[in-house]
Amino acid sequence: MKNLKAQIKLATTLGLLIFYITSCYHKEEVDTVLTLRKSKNYRYELQLLVHHEGRGNIHQLDASKYSFEASNWLYFNQDTGKVYAKDLVVTPKRNETDSLYRKFNLKGFVQFSKDSIHIRLITPHYIDQDTIVDEWLDYKYNGSYKLKKAW
């Protein structure tokens, strides 16, 4: 009888753990229309509004749903043609163009078309967190988007 209770408890615990692990997820989706605005430090800022949705926190055995919005910001001085990575700033914090939040040593470009923008950037991944590049990774929000000018 004691052994059966232990087995039931173990099966219940394993079942709950499997439920938590399999029900947890996180999904990110960028707005299909990006907003281009005038900026203080650079001529323009581009907001990439990202919708986050998910369920659960495996570390706290919490399976509740959540959703929130966050933005990435690109800063540059022209709104036509091709803007190369050396001429733009990418940061998750608005107007923080000279801070620790800024992504450094990017490669690639942002290309403007009539009513759209194409983001094609790669970011370095460092072996030692500072100087030696291990590999180059696609920027998380690369893609083609419709462009809305807010002026």
Name the pTM for this structure.
0.80
What is the per-residue pLDDT across 11-53, written as a single tens digit (0 to 9) for each? 887 776 676 666 788 899 999 999 999 998 899 999 999 999 9
CA 147 to each of CA 52, 99, 119: distance values in angstroms, whole numbers, following the listed order: 21, 27, 12
| Two tokens, residue 25 | 């997820």
Q: How many Å apart are CA 122 and CA 75, to the nearest integer? A: 16
Q: How many Å apart are CA 52 and CA 112, to the nearest integer? A: 26
What is the per-residue pLDDT across 56-79, written as a single tens digit (0 to 9) for each? 876 776 778 999 999 999 999 999
